[in-house]
Amino acid sequence: MAGVSLRRAALTREISAEPPSEFLIFAPGENHTSKGTYIFDAAAAQSVMAQAQKCGVDYMIDLDHLVIKPDTARTDATDARGWFRVELRADGSLWAVGVSWTLDGARRLRERTQRYVSPLFTHDDAGRIRELLNVALVAMPATFDAQPLVAASRNAPGSALHTLSLMLASQISRRTKKHGS
């Protein structure tokens, strides 16, 4: 349950319109997705960090996992949209840090054609994450409660700020009528 609360807490932070220099990959504990529940615990963290140290190179951010789809017709399918290193945080979460975006990756985030990331990883039979392979920019992540990397229009209809503004306006209106002002 800690994974869900960390993801929801991350949703409350200020989301910029600019591409981030870091982002959450795995919350500690259970990570729920449309493909199943995957575990990122101390054993998973040790395995992922050992593999990262062994490889010794930055991780690639691709587009829609095209790098693993050999039958794609796109000529830029294997091009990176960004690069990052991994960092294990004190709370047990795994973050992408030192993120550098290519021009295309940054453009896709600024234009909001893709706002989320989706990790590609291996896992054991119990669902424990063993190795991070890369992360993809996606429009529709499989991870539940995924945090957008860039903000939508801050006060657009349906945005959290817009909804909060409507709720507050409604409460003020009710209180004003109740007190006869």
- Asked if 42 and 114 sit in the same domain, the reply is yes
- Residue 96, pLDDT above cutoff 60: yes
**Nearest alpha-carbon partner for 84 in 57, 109, 113, 65:** 57
Nearest 5°: the CA angle 81, 87, 91 is 130
Beta bridge partners of 84: 59
- pTM value is 0.75
- Asked if 95 and 77 sit in the same domain, the reply is yes
| pLDDT tens digit sequence for 15-67 | 556 899 999 999 999 999 999 999 999 999 999 999 999 999 999 999 999 98
- Asked if 6 and 41 sit in the same domain, the reply is yes
- Asked if 15 and 61 sit in the same domain, the reply is yes
| pLDDT tens digit sequence for 136-145 | 999 999 999 9
- Asked if 33 and 57 sit in the same domain, the reply is yes
- Asked if 85 and 97 sit in the same domain, the reply is yes
**Residues contacting residue 130 through CB under 8 Å, at least 6 positions apart:** 44, 47, 48, 51, 121, 122, 123, 124
Number of domains in the chain: 2
Burial 77-97 (b: 16+ CB within 10 A, else e): beebbbbbebebeeebbbbbe
List the domain range (segments joined by +) for residue 164.
153-181
- Asked if 23 and 51 sit in the same domain, the reply is yes
Considering the chain, what percentage of its residues have pLDDT values greater than 90? 65
| pLDDT tens digit sequence for 154-170 | 444 444 554 555 566 56
| pLDDT tens digit sequence for 16-26 | 568 999 999 99
**Strand duo 94-101 + 82-88: pairing:** antiparallel
- Asked if 80 and 134 sit in the same domain, the reply is yes
Report the pLDDT value the prediction gives residue 71, as an integer from 0 to 100. Answer: 76
What distance in Å separates the CA atoms of residue 38 and residue 79, rounded to the nearest whole number? 28
Beta strands in 108-162 (DSSP E): 116-123, 129-138
- Asked if 181 and 116 sit in the same domain, the reply is no
- Asked if 128 and 96 sit in the same domain, the reply is yes
- Asked if 85 and 101 sit in the same domain, the reply is yes
- Residue 74, pLDDT above cutoff 70: yes
Under the banding of pLDDT at 50, 70 and 90, the label for residue 77 is confident
- Asked if 130 and 177 sit in the same domain, the reply is no
- Residue 132, pLDDT above cutoff 90: yes
CB 99 within 8 A of CB 21: yes
Q: Could you give the residue ranges of the DSSP H alpha helices within 12-121?
A: 42-55, 103-110
